[in-house]
Structure 1
């Protein structure tokens, strides 16, 4: 089905507090050189004690409204991608509805880890193209610092906090969405998780600390094997060649991982937009933050074709090819 939805506005927010590699070297056995060599990350932003996923999301939406002069009163659905919601319930989406006093809207949180933002965009496109909705806020917001184990040097060097928001609305004449592709490998979920009620997965006991646990080697192997092949499938669905892409915007997990994905897919690393160098791995928020950086650096222009690819915990992944046009 041909898309009838267009991305019409973007907003982002990161907390003020910075956590540098040198700061981490005072906490665990690591160094600035060691972290940069293995991840490419230089620093990350950390939410304050009174900042939560809803706080960051609201600030990103305020940024969207200020930059675009877009009204929010007629938003008829709110989708929030997060793994670090303020509460089990109510949802962050419901908190957003309350803050902005949007009278008639649906509101849901979705859990797709680092693929959450592309899942949210995919759902928004589907809901608008079907005719069920006209204007949807898609938000990614994460406060990963609150669930990071700062005694584990293999994971604490990675994660930061941030939020991004897109407005997606009905536009039959100039749609943004060209193709999508997704997949899931639930058996691999044990390689990156955070416990809640269950203490076992696939029959195996879990670390029940409530902090994130990651087998980075296995996640790396899965991503660098799965994403390049999936990008080929996505391009075929769009009837495009990789040379027609202007920008590749993957989840900013780790710069070395992105380099491997680019090498295997044949997409030049120079065409990859990432956010991990200044912000670390911000899970679902990393793609909108990377796009904002691309806009700020005047790289992304109206009419450009972007391949967005979210992947992570689940293990799950979803890629989109979009045409960027905020006019």
Structure 2
């Protein structure tokens, strides 16, 4: 008797991915000429912002004017709301929300590409933005030391990793990946506009709260856009990673099936051996079937008696020797053939 191995939740998920023999062909963005032009223009804008801050140009003076204006004091009524709105740019909560949505997309489309593309985008974000942050070492408005300076090269001071804005770049990548993975041109346009509004509003919120310069927001917006525009170059690597993961999954499932415990086979029944008692019982079976239940109970021998014919009590051989069965006693007088007369009391 063969039993099927018990499937775990992970097995059911991968079985869902392989339910269709041929996965649907998805619209994978290509590195077209239009995208190359946009990438070049964004990269030029990125380098221009860095050069303007390093040379302490008019952009740095504008940063100081916006900071000294203190927007959080001018419009204090929206401070509580913007404290929550800025969470849309934090990497932890937004990554969890978007990963949950993309996981559902993987389930429906029977592919791992959405999650792999999102992971590749976050990896590029951490590497590129983190390298520039710690390489330039610019201090934030709360840690500024000299009015009018660009606050650069402060590598060993607190708060010297704010250029470019991580909130803004993360908002561009996290919400922009939904537009990048959209399945229709209309959905891609709407999601692109929505991600642009969200990322710019999150960046301006950091300027309002005084945690970033305005130039930090502009550079963070350009850094996130560069990652989204460069993702088609990594699509072949994402496809190879997906094929590799599915191949490892198949090998793991094959090994699990080989090592699964099989049920022991049921042994065949041994042929019945007929004995004289068995033959006698089979011959008496029709007789027992014709009797009523009460008659069967009366004719059935007690279970404590040995099988075979039984003799009556009178016919049995005494167990002890002839005579009295009571054991001898030294004080007991032997019983004679005739008893003597008892004396009369008082005579």
TM-based fold match above 0.5: no
Give the structure with the higher percent helix.
2
- Taking structure 1 as the reference length, what is the TM-score of the superposition? 0.24
Larger RCO: 1 or 2 (CA < 8 Å, sep 6+): 1
State the TM-score, normalizing by the size of structure 2.
0.23
Bigger Cα Rg: 2
